[in-house]
């Protein structure tokens, strides 16, 4: 049995609720619609500007160093921040100017980037959680690496052995061809040369593919070990396990 997952960094427990809420909104609205809601947030907030002015209010703004005032919004203030003043001259509220198309576009791009950044952070938190659920120590990571490499290592060994055997057959063909230095080489020997080379090429391809897979596996486990160290340094802890149950999962003691 596993005890509850304990994370002490990045407020992960708190952020998962926010992530769930955002995912719920995204599922209902769709990403384009959600971006639109965020981009138009300022428009929704600015709707407060439609609040009826106080009786006797004065509106004023400054454009190009000149101040315009009146008991109604001066036309010159249509593209400037507007201040609504009380009778005593104190500021009741400030109404932000409307956004230009360029500013609206910039705000939409900012909202899009913010969502993308949150997606990346959410994905990283999920990967970190999976990492701490999968491994309790670096030794377990190395054990998983060794297990993942077994198949590819066997493929390299088999291919190398097969290539060695084919090279031996090639040597026999070379020895046999010595008898035909001054004569035409028989077609059968020619075909054997071709077949031998084709088989060697096939085995070399198998070995190269296995070596490439070994490199990919090592890179993956190197990255997992590096991240494992980082999250532990940030205060996270692996999932605690039941020793009596988990000993059955250790290949060193299985069947003993």
pLDDT tens string 123-180:
999 999 999 999 999 999 999 999 999 999 999 999 999 999 999 999 999 999 998 8
Mean pLDDT of the residues in the chain: 81
Contact by Cβ (8 Å): 132, 231 = yes
Element (H, E) at 243: helix 243-246
Q: Answer whether 0.75 is exceeded by the pTM.
A: no
Neighbours of 170 (CB within 10 A): 16
SS (H, E, C) 113-166: HHHHHHHHHHHHHHHHHHHHHHCCCHHHHHHHHHHHHHHHHHHHHHHHHHHHHH
Contact by Cβ (8 Å): 59, 77 = yes
* Distance linking the first and last C-alpha atoms of the chain: 22
Can you give the pLDDT at residue 227? 96
pLDDT tens string 88-111:
889 999 999 888 899 999 999 999
Sign of CA dihedral 175, 179, 183, 185: negative
**What average pLDDT does this structure show over 73-92?**
91
Provide the pLDDT confidence category of residue 12 given band limits of 50, 70 and 90: very low
């Amino acid at each position: 049995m596993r005890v509850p997952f304990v994370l002490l960094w990045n407020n992960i427990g708190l952020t998962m609720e926010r992530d769930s809420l955002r995912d719920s909104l995204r599922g209902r609205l769709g990403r384009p619609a959600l971006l639109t809601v965020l981009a138009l947030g300022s428009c929704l907030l600015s709707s407060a500007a439609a609040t009826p002015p106080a009786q006797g209010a004065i509106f004023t703004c400054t454009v190009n160093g000149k101040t315009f005032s009146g008991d109604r919004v001066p036309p010159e203030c249509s593209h400037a921040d507007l201040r609504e003043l009380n009778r005593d001259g104190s500021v009741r509220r400030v109404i932000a100017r409307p956004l230009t198309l360029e500013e609206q576009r910039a705000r939409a791009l900012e909202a899009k980037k913010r969502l993308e950044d949150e997606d990346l952070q959410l994905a990283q938190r999920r990967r970190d959680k999976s990492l701490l659920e999968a491994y309790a120590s670096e030794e377990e990571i190395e054990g998983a690496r060794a297990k993942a490499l077994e198949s590819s290592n066997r493929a390299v060994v088999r291919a190398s052995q097969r290539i060695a055997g084919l090279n031996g057959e090639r040597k026999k063909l070379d020895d046999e061809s010595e008898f035909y230095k001054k004569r035409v080489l028989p077609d059968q020997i020619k075909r054997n040369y071709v077949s031998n080379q084709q088989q060697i090429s096939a085995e070399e391809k198998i070995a190269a593919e296995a070596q490439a897979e070994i490199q990919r596996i090592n890179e993956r486990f190197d990255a997992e070990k590096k991240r494992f160290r980082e999250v532990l340094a940030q205060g996270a802890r692996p999932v605690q396990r039941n020793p009596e149950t988990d000993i059955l999962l250790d290949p060193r003691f299985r069947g003993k």
